[in-house]
Amino acid sequence: MANDVNLSGATRTNLLALQRTTDLIARTQERLSTGLKVNSAIDDAIAFFQARSLSDRAGDLSVLKDDIDQGVSAVETAVAGIEAISDIVEQMKGIALSAKSDADTTNRSKAAIQFNDLRNQLNNLANDASYKGNNLLKASPANLKVTFSEDGSSTLTISGVASDASGLSIAAAVNNFGADANIDTAINDLDSALTTLRSTASTLGSNASVLSLRLDFTANLINSLEEGAAKLINADLNEESANLLTLQTRQQLGTIGLSIAQQSEQSILRLF
């Protein structure tokens, strides 16, 4: 066409090289500003979607990690409740033994009242050992299910154990502890309750240990996934900074080269 401008080969070559250098500078500046060498699927589809897959899994596991952490707290609450209930049972046993060694019926009657008061406190404690609505110790205990994997295939179900007075088979003081037989029955019940409580504490402690291990494992796995995603898309800022300096130098040289090519063409025109 009449309005077309024809460029010489040297000018066109220098101009294209300068444009490529300018594009590379823009890309490098973007990497430095975002900290990412892969900002979209256009940059590197494989790396972009692999990183997203790792990040998505890390996000799913983060939700599970929070649930595991809450599960640890729920079990620790139950363990603390068991320890407190055991202390009350020990006090009740002490009262019963003290009553047995005292033949005075009035004193035995007072001991029976103290015994029953502690039994009521034991029931209150079992009912209060709740964490976010989960109570593993009350008369009708809940079961706690904790999920470890995204697909729900890996779980741990912690069964609650009724640890109130009825659940532990601790009856109220019979006949105001009037007879040694009444006290002996109470002591036997208390000994049996302590054995049950120790077994429950051991089981809950073991479950809490498993949850803590899974919590640490999940936290480390999330960290590994996030690091893996970062390796795929994060830019090396030191390398990109060096690249920018190199490209800027190349751009300056390209500009000089383009200027020289144009000067050569102008020199030819001066011949006419």
In this structure, the chain runs to a length of 272
Tell me the sheet residues that pair with 158.
144
Q: Which residue has the tokens 């809940």?
A: 142
pLDDT tens digits, one per residue of 126-138: 999 999 999 999 9
**259 lies in some domain:** no
**269 lies in some domain:** no
**188 lies in some domain:** yes
Q: Which residue has the tokens 């979607």?
A: 49
Nearest residue to 95 via CA among 118, 115, 119: 115
Q: Which residue has the tokens 């139950």?
A: 78
Q: Which residue has the tokens 């729900």?
A: 152
* pTM of the model as a whole: 0.76
Tokens matching residue 3: 């309005």
Distance CA(118)–CA(8), nearest Å, equals: 103
Give pLDDT, residue 224: 96
By the 8 A CB rule, do 242 and 57 touch?
no
Give pLDDT, residue 37: 81
Give pLDDT, residue 45: 92
One-character DSSP codes across 83-97: HHHHHHHHHHHHHHH
**251 lies in some domain:** no
pLDDT above 50: residue 1: no
Q: Where in the sequence is the domain holding 225, given as residue range(s)?
A: 45-232
Question: What CATH number does residue 70 fall under?
Answer: 1.20.1330.10
**211 lies in some domain:** yes
Give pLDDT, residue 257: 64
Average pLDDT over residues 52-77: 95
pLDDT above 90: residue 238: no
Share of residues in the chain with pLDDT > 70 (%):
87
**249 lies in some domain:** no
By the 8 A CB rule, do 146 and 199 touch?
no
How many structural domains comprise the chain?
1
**183 lies in some domain:** yes
pLDDT tens digits, one per residue of 147-187: 999 999 999 999 999 999 999 999 999 999 999 999 999 99
**199 lies in some domain:** yes
User: Among 4-8, 88-92, 137-141, 211-215, which stretch is predicted with the lowest mean pLDDT?
Assistant: 4-8
Average pLDDT over residues 110-116: 96
